Structure 1
């Protein structure tokens, strides 16, 4: 779905609310990132190593 299609389907008010709620959400914890990495990347294989640069910045 393109951004234009999403906008046409949901409308600008809903898109603005989604963006505001996403901006207000706290950043994910390193533990959550590690858990999601296993699910979202190569689910049938071992999880890739954590990005040390990103992990140290959190």
Structure 2
């Protein structure tokens, strides 16, 4: 589960599941296909990660 956030909301998104989110008064469906950390857990924040995803804007 990844935690995504903006200034107003937090989202918990499971890898491989479609999740509906509202960001800046716009609706999106997001599917995170793959997540890999690039940096080690012991590295200082912010750490880098590789992310494969699909995001569809819903009108």
TM-score range, shorter chain: under 0.3
Bigger radius of gyration:
1
Higher strand share: 2
Q: Which has the higher contact order (CA 8 A, sep 6+)?
A: 2
Name the TM-score, length of structure 2 as normaliser.
0.20
- Normalised TM-score (structure 1): 0.20
Q: Which has the higher helix share?
A: 1
